Structure 1
Amino acid sequence: MSYGKRLARLRRTRDLSQEEFARRVGINRSTYARYETGKTQPDFDTLDKIAAFYDVSVDYLLGRSIKPEHSLIDPDEDFEGFFGFDLDSLSEKEKEELKDQLKKEVEFFLWQKRNK
């Protein structure tokens, strides 16, 4: 997921408009809109402010981590309906094994993509 899509998802999770988010973080709305569309990138200080506002890591915003850390997105809740599969028949141990395997697969995929 691109940084722009992550920004938009986090903003919508908080039910904020671009205007409201930009005001709270202290940046111009049109500048922020360009971040979400990927037309421009925030400087380090702005990226740090955005990460602090959402309580996520800068690595998560940049797509270098799939863990948002302290985000409003609950990975366990999202996992239960992962890709529309009903996982109720799995034990907790099996769910954890599946999570670990998926994490490894995603990390490998991202590593391959970065090293092309």
Structure 2
Amino acid sequence: MKYQRRMKELRQENNMSQADLGKVLKCTQVAYGMYENGKRRLPICGLITLARFYDVSADYILGLTDSKERK
């Protein structure tokens, strides 16, 4: 699973818009949409921010595990 799909799933599960997540990552909705659609790579600092925001592991976002638990 590509991390972009996980980003979208987490966003939708939390009833948030791309604009909401843009604020979390301190970027525009357009930039966030490009991360989610695979047109731009999410920087590592963005991955860390999302993992902390959603309280999941970075491995979960990356699709390396199906466990959301942070260690």
Counterparts of 2:28 and 2:51 in 1: how far apart (Å)?
Answer: 17
Counterparts of 1:23 and 1:61 in 2: how far apart (Å)?
Answer: 19
RMSD: 1.4
Which residue of structure 2 aligns with residue 52 of structure 1?
A: 52
| SS of match in other structure, 2:40 | coil
Give the CA deviation at 1:25: 3.1
Which residue of structure 2 aligns with residue 69 of structure 1?
A: 69
Q: Tell me the matched-pair count.
A: 70
Greater helix share, structure number? 1
Which residue of structure 2 aligns with residue 30 of structure 1?
A: 30
1:17 aligned to 2:11?
no
1:8 aligned to 2:8?
yes
Q: TM-score, normalised by structure 1?
A: 0.55
| 1:95-110 paired onto structure 2 within 5 Å | none
Between structure 1 and structure 2, the one with the greater Rg is 1
Higher relative contact order (CA 8 A, sep 6+): 2
Deviation above 6 Å: which 4+ runs of structure 1?
none
Structure 1 residues not aligned, in runs of 5+? 71-116
Q: TM-score, normalised by structure 2?
A: 0.86
Give the CA deviation at 1:42: 1.0
Q: Percent identity?
A: 34
Question: 1:6–1:61: 8 Å Cα contact kept in structure 2?
Answer: yes
